[in-house]
Structure 1
Amino acid sequence: MDNFKTIINAIDSLAIYRSVLSDPILDSYLDHLKALVEPSESLNPAVTYSKLYYLLAQTVNPMEAADPWQNHLLDLLLDDVNPFSEAAYNRELDYKVYLEAVRRDLELLHLAFETGLATVLKATENYLQNLPEFPRSLAVLPKWAALTPTAHNTTPVLKERLAVKHALASAPGWDKYAESLAEHYANFGCGVFGRQIAFKWENHSLRGVDRPDPITFADLIGYADTRAEIIDNTLKFLNGAPANNMLLYGDRGTGKSSTIKALLNEYWQRSLRLIEVGKKQLADFSAIIRELTGRKHRFILFVDDLSFEENETGYKDLKALLEGGLEKKPENVLIYATSNRRHLIRETFADREANSSSQEIHAMDSVQEKLSLADRFGITIIFPSPDQELFLEIVQGLARQRNLGLDPQDLRRRALHWANWHNGRSPRSARQFIDHLTGEQTLS
């Protein structure tokens, strides 16, 4: 019990990692230790252990044969947003000023790590078995079985993250790992950045995408020259050279969005990160920029299917961000947008006629303001609809990837029939056709 008292006092004296005190599981763990040290009507060990068990049961355990409490504490350590982790992840700050305080905090947290669930469970059962009014059969509490990771809860950064966790789990102490943690924060980030490579901006904050689209350039057939310019611009960006915001314009289903997602899967290990921003969140761009400024990763803000109706004014926020606003866009952020419209803002001849009458004196000024949005993207890449031969080339390539083994002439005939009766000729239509054939073969 003296060890439990030491842990309670140690965790309460954290300095840099103090924000972990607000974690519900850590709070429940400490409450249970307090209940074992000094049980009371409000702190009953049977109740506090059950609450701790319940909370831990809701966590995902990506470590095989791991103590769920220890695993959770390691996750808290890697995810914590504090002055030290923020400084390590920010190219403009010096994390070394916090090292002394961090080493002390790590030793304090290691005390709690060493006292895992097996120790806590045994102490709890001993306490309950010594209560004359508690049934002996109920004094045997639920134990934990090791959980094995499954494919759906893994992310591209899991391997590196697990390596750090295993190193900490096997270390006799943590005070010597301050520099290693700083390196981890620098490479992978902290908070939401520490677990994912893809994000969405929702409700004025970043949300990690647990299962980003795994598409790669190897999956994309055709348009090699078109994609080469996009890759070239992205590589300049990743190497710290000047690079341009890009507008990918073309017919629907030609692979514009897939190309941007493939960039992430190709270059995430070179610090590329992707943030999807909806058109309705354009007004939040200043907040997004503040969130990303100084980070060691390089971010592409991905605006998919960008277009505006004539009466929408959200394009003005995007114009200011692209070029011309008072707030400078940081050098680690680019904007890649896709659109089916070259000029992005819908305009009709009727609009010009209305403006040229009594509605507005300088009608062409309004027209030019709308057209200037597309011009502010440094590079515009065109994705045209494929001709028949390119469409068939894509179909044949996808069929080889799926190992369908169909007669080439029969595949050609059916592909053209599909294009005529469904969504025309496009890479998306080709993939839908191959999905249809794969389903047929599976059922047969």
Structure 2
Amino acid sequence: MLNFQPVIEALPGLTVYRNILKDPIVKSVIEHLLALANPTGTIHPVHSYGRVYHMLAMTQNPLTSSDAWQNHLLELILSDVNPFSRAAYTPGGDYTVFKAAVHWDLSILQCLFEISVQDIHNATIEVLDNCFPVTHRPPLPRWTAPRPPAGEQSGLHNRRVQMKRELAAARRWDKLAEQLAHYYATYGCGIFGRFIAFKWQNGILQGVDRPDPIKLNGLFEYTDIREQVIANTRQFLNGYPANNLLLYGDRGTGKSSTVKALLNEYWSQGLRLVEVPKKQLPDYHSIVQELRHNKHRFILFVDDLSFEENETEFKDLKALLEGGIEDRPGNVLIYATSNRRHLIKETFADRVKNNTGGEIHAMDSVQEKLSLADRFGITVIFPTPDQETFLKIAVGLAEQRGLPLPPQELRQRALHWSMWQNGRSPRSARQFVDQLEGQLAMENGA
């Protein structure tokens, strides 16, 4: 049987990567190795093996090989938030002061990595046969890796898989400190190393596993309008001054799709997207603290922004955009979409309050509401398409999906759809093509 004792004795000496010892799966594997080393102790090897098997089966990490344990350990190394990874990911951080400790830790972790699930399985059987002989014991279950889910994976996922394979193939991990530092600097660590899109929910930044895959080349027409958003974003990514944006227009005109498509176009250049619900805007200072000292550049995305007369969150947004005492970091911008040009509902009553015994300086309240939209540096207007533009969008989407209908027939069907369904908009054109694609597939299947 393999001698696991040197690994068990070395692990408590981890320095920079010490957080890995707190991981539940790592703890269960160590517990099982201890049970194998002392099979007559308080922990039965069958019990500890079952725990390891169950916890590995529950992991959601994308597999790079059939060995779930080795894959999990590589995931922990790439995700670990420690002084070394944080220094590499922080602008101006000096990670080199930790290189000696990283060399030490990687040598220890490589020894742990070299213990495969097959080794664990074989050692467990050997211990059971020697210490707990049973004539009719059922076979110990062997780990079999599940097939990874089908579908296109993100570029970040693919780069992560590539880095794990490089680690797995390396003969000496202690020589990879510089390579790991470059990975952390480029792709981040912790939650920032696993996701490119995020949501701020109840005071917590949460990663989005599968962001909307929409791309700029999948958006038709509105080219000049969309170019304003693209140009501002590219300035931002290159470290030049850029503006907060308000994307205004009728529903379904592609405002939100444009912002989400920016992420898929520019994530590899360091762009990240954080969706912030309107009700969470008072958490702005907490959000900024999460993002301020990172190398990535973040767009705070506030979708479908508008306020009713009695809502006061717009004051938090005003301070966020301009006028708060805290400086907005240079790696954060705000892009908001709205169907309402002035964002805040304004009534005629607002204008006549001073004539009806209401507020004495009523126009001050009106101006406070109207000034919110002015805080955005650029307002980009997405108008409702005319009939010809709508038809071009519908035909373009249908051709992109390879639907086998002549353009003239597509135009006729799309026009009929706009008259009887949701009017003319890019969203309505996409809904028409979705329905048409499904209808043709059913007909071909029948």
Same structural fold, with TM-score higher than 0.5 when normalized by the shorter chain: yes
Q: Does 2:16 match 1:16?
A: yes
Q: Deviations over 1:76-98 (max 9, x none)?
A: 00001111111111103211111
The 2-side partners of 1:22 and 1:273 are apart by 29
Q: C-alpha displacement at 1:126, in angstroms?
A: 0.7
Higher alpha-carbon deviation: 424-433 or 346-355: 346-355
Which position in structure 2 is the counterpart of 1:127? 127
Per the alignment, residue 253 of structure 1 pairs with: 252
Query: SS state of the match for residue 155, structure 2?
Result: coil
User: Equivalents in 2 of 1:413, 1:155: separation in Å?
Assistant: 37
1:352 — aligned with what?
351
1:96 matched to 2:96: yes
Deviation at 1:357, TM superposition (A): 3.5
Between stretches 174-183 and 111-120, larger displacement belongs to 111-120
1:44 is matched with 44
- Pick closer, same or farther for the CA change 1:355–1:336 going to 2, 3 Å: farther
Which residue number corresponds to residue 204 of structure 2?
205
The answer to whether the Cα contact below 8 Å between 1:310 and 1:346 also exists between their aligned partners in 2 is yes
Structure 2: state its 5+ residue gaps.
Answer: none
Look up the equivalent residue of 1:263 and give its one-letter code: L
For 1:354 and 1:135, how far apart are their aligned partners in 2?
92
The alpha carbon displacement at 1:184 in A equals 0.5
The whole-number CA distance in structure 2 between the counterparts of 1:329 and 1:418 is 46
**Contact persistence 1:272–1:300 (CA under 8 A):** yes
RMSD: 1.7
Question: What do residues 152-198 of structure 1 show as CA deviations (whole Å, max 9, x unaligned)?
Answer: 58332122112211111112221111111111000110111111111
Does the Cα contact within 8 Å between 1:307 and 1:344 map onto a contact in 2? yes
CA gap of 1:356–1:244, structure 2 versus 1, over 3 A, is farther
For 2:284 and 2:274, how far apart are their aligned partners in 1?
12
**In structure 2, C-alpha distance between the alignment counterparts of 1:438 and 1:31, rounded to whole Å:** 54
* Match status 1:69 vs 2:72: no
CA contact (8 A) 2:244 2:335 kept: yes
1:392-432: per-residue Cα shift (whole Å, max 9, x none)? 11111112112223233332222222111111110101111
Secondary structure (helix, strand or coil) at the match of 2:62 reads coil
Residue 385 of structure 1: aligned partner:
384
State the 1:443 CA deviation.
1.0
Q: Secondary structure at the match of 1:158?
A: helix
Shifted more, 86-95 versus 244-253: the winner is 86-95
Q: After TM superposition, give the deviation of residue 202 of structure 1 in Å.
A: 1.4
1:133 positional shift: 5.3
1:302 corresponds in structure 2 to 301
Counterpart of 2:230 in structure 1 is: 231
Tell me the residue number matched to 2:422: 423
CA contact (8 A) 1:279 1:306 kept: yes
Verify the 8 A CA contact 2:61 2:75 in the aligned structure 1: no
Q: Secondary structure at the match of 2:50?
A: helix
2:288 and 2:329 in contact (8 A); partners too: yes
One-letter code aligned to 2:34: K
Choose 165-174 or 78-87, whichever is displaced more: 165-174
How has the CA–CA distance of structure 1 residues 76 and 252 changed in structure 2, closer, same or farther, with 3 Å as cutoff?
same
Q: Percent identity?
A: 59
Q: Which amino acid aligns with 2:280?
A: Q
Letter of the 1:118 counterpart: Q
Q: For the Cα contact (< 8 Å) 1:65–1:147, is it kept in 2?
A: no
Structure 1, unpaired ranges of 5+ = none
Distance 1:248 1:210 in 2: 26
Answer yes or no: is the 8 Å Cα contact 2:273–2:301 preserved in 1: yes
Displacement, 1:287?
A: 0.8
SS of the residue corresponding to residue 62 of structure 1 reads coil
Q: Deviations over 1:201-222 (max 9, x none)?
A: 1121111111111111111111
- Residues 153, 210 of structure 1: 8 Å contact kept: no
1:219-368 alignment, distance < 5 Å: 219-354=218-353, 356-368=355-367
Provide the C-alpha distance between the structure 1 equivalents of 2:121 and 2:175, rounded to a whole number of angstroms.
30
Q: Find the aligned partners of 1:29 and 1:2 in 2 and give their Cα distance.
A: 15
Note if contact 2:273-2:299 (Cα within 8 Å) is conserved in structure 1: yes
- The aligned amino acid for 2:93 is L
Q: In structure 2, do the counterparts of structure 1 residues 136 and 97 end up closer, same or farther at CA, with 3 Å as the change threshold?
A: farther
Asked whether the 8 Å contact 1:156–1:197 carries over to 2, the reply is no
Does the CA contact (< 8 Å) of 2:247 and 2:255 recur in 1?
Answer: yes
Distance 2:61 2:89 in 1: 25
TM-score normalised according to structure 1 size: 0.96
Which residue does the alignment assign to 2:172? 173
Per the alignment, do residues 153 and 18 of structure 1 end up closer, same or farther by CA in structure 2, a change over 3 Å counting?
farther
Q: TM-score, normalised by structure 2?
A: 0.96
Q: CA deviation digits over 1:39-71, x for unaligned, max 9?
A: 356311110001000000112353343311111
Shift of 1:135: 4.3
Work out whether residues 11 and 108 of structure 1, in 8 Å CA contact, stay in contact via their aligned partners in 2: yes
Q: Per the alignment, in what secondary structure is the counterpart of residue 130 of structure 1?
A: helix
CA distance in 2, matches of 1:47, 1:355: 78
CA contact (8 A) 2:65 2:71 kept: no
Q: 1:3 to 1:326 in 2, by over 3 A?
A: farther
| SS in structure 1 at match of 2:106 | helix
Question: Which deviates further from its counterpart, 51-60 or 33-42?
Answer: 33-42
Residue type of the partner of 1:350? A
